Amino acid sequence: MEHDQTGEYPHGLHAALAKDGWIGIALPEEQGGAGLGISEATMMLHTIAESGAGMAGAQSLHANVYATQPVAKFASPELQAKTLPGLIAGEYKTCFGVTEPNTGLDTLKLKTTAKRDGDDYLISGQKIWITNAQVASKMILLARTTPLEEVTKPAEGLSLFFIDFDKTDPAIDIRQIKKLGGRAVDANEIFFDNYRIPASTLIGNEGQGFKIVLHGMNAERCLLAGEALGLGYVALKRATTYSKERVVFGRPIGKNQAIQHPLADAWCQLEAAKLATYHAARLYDKSAKDNSISQHQVGAACNSAKYLAAEASFKACERAVMTHGGMGYAQEYHVERYFRECLVPRLAPVSREMILNYVGEKVLGLPRSY
């Protein structure tokens, strides 16, 4: 609550989790990580959110867990050794630079460019909604290395980099965005003007960045689903506690079915979404070793889990506010903060509507609608 009100990043939480090895939960053991999977990482972020830290607490670590998955899978051993041990140890934080103001979810139309200049690349363009950029000293950046009009397929020509993010460099202009919830983690708009990065920061092969980054995106859907679940469960816990303690007309309000039934319904929705979420996370992890599991299956599971968890979380958080009545609007009861934060999983990293588009086209075989 204090960090939400001050807008200060929870450095203490990050430091404590790094000290005990949690930042590297899903990163390779040879780089200092735990070598576990997205299933365990989802469980960790679910737990952090459910502790009361909510989306802000979980998202203070979020990019460090999922955005580094492509690094662990595709980066050269030299780049991994140079970047991952410090991140796992908590020596620095990273952010994820994909979204742009004029393309949104149309990732293949990204306009930020990386032009080769000897042993370097020059980055120019604009990114938006970059979480934790104010505290990060590294960025995983997706940029176009070949103009869109020169590639045979739109998915080609994008490249992924793991770069130093030097906010003192005049080639970077960073502007913080004031937002509704999750104020303990900053969101930003970033402008690059010929920002110079070494070619050695390239992850995998040039032009293959979109395929590489997809591995992180499915992981992110699982993690967001876990965070949404944690938020929904803590909101429900506060609502049930309050409904047992709040006495009106000589009886606790929790005796009334008008209070009981919506809370019970919210719990059922959370439980169903939890099953979908951990199924998706297990499928993601197993697909790395089991060729019979297609990326199509993984994508369908991860997208649907994120959708269901976001909706269940919204229902639980909204019901928690209403159960508290007028006090649900007061900061001291926390549920107004949870309600502000529960909109994030509905919007990010992909909206409800785009998930339904994905399911309609990729799962049900319906014509593309956009």
> Which CATH number is 82's domain given?
1.10.540.10
- In the beta sheet, which residues pair with residue 95? 139
Report if residue 368 sits inside a domain: no
343 and 291 in one domain? yes
What pLDDT, on the 0 to 100 scale, is given for residue 264?
A: 98
Q: Is the pLDDT of residue 215 over 80?
A: no
What pLDDT, on the 0 to 100 scale, is given for residue 301?
A: 98
Over residues 289-306, the pLDDT tens digits come to 999 999 999 999 999 999
101 and 178 in one domain? yes
Report if residue 193 sits inside a domain: yes
Which residue is associated with the tokens 């938006």?
A: 128
Mean of the pLDDT values across residues 16-26? 96
What pLDDT, on the 0 to 100 scale, is given for residue 326?
A: 98
Q: How many domains are there within the chain?
A: 3
Q: What is the CATH number for 187?
A: 2.40.110.10
Could you give the C-alpha distances from 188 to 99, 101, 183, 355, in angstroms and in order?
Answer: 11, 11, 12, 25
Report if residue 253 sits inside a domain: yes
Report if residue 370 sits inside a domain: no
* Confidence band, pLDDT 50/70/90 cuts, at residue 154: confident
Over residues 322-344, the pLDDT tens digits come to 999 999 999 999 999 999 999 99
310 and 351 in one domain? yes
Tell me the C-alpha distance between 308 and 354, whole Å: 13
Mean of the pLDDT values across residues 202-223? 93
Q: Which among 158, 170, 47, 14 is positioned nearest to 100, based on CA atoms?
A: 158
Q: Which among 310, 125, 301, 289 is positioned nearest to 231, based on CA atoms?
A: 310
Mean of the pLDDT values across residues 91-100? 96
30 and 56 in one domain? yes
Which of 172, 207, 242 terminates a domain? The answer is 207
Domain with 289 in it: 210-363
Q: What is the pTM of this model?
A: 0.96
What pLDDT, on the 0 to 100 scale, is given for residue 223?
A: 97
140 and 76 in one domain? no
Q: Is residue 224 exposed (0-12), middle (13-18) or buried (19+ Cβ within 10 Å)? A: buried
State the distance between the two ends of the chain, measured CA to CA, in whole angstroms: 40
Mean of the pLDDT values across residues 230-239? 98
Average pLDDT, the chain: 96
Q: What six digits make up the tokens of 325?
A: 């009545």
Tell me the C-alpha distance between 322 and 249, whole Å: 18
111 and 69 in one domain? no
Mean of the pLDDT values across residues 51-64? 96
Residues 176 and 187: beta-carbon distance below 8 Å? yes
Q: Is the pLDDT of residue 105 over 90?
A: no
Report if residue 281 sits inside a domain: yes
What pLDDT, on the 0 to 100 scale, is given for residue 132?
A: 97
241 and 339 in one domain? yes
Report if residue 25 sits inside a domain: yes
221 and 168 in one domain? no
33 and 69 in one domain? yes
Torsion region of 303: left, alpha or beta (phi above 0 gives left; psi -120 to 50 gives alpha): alpha
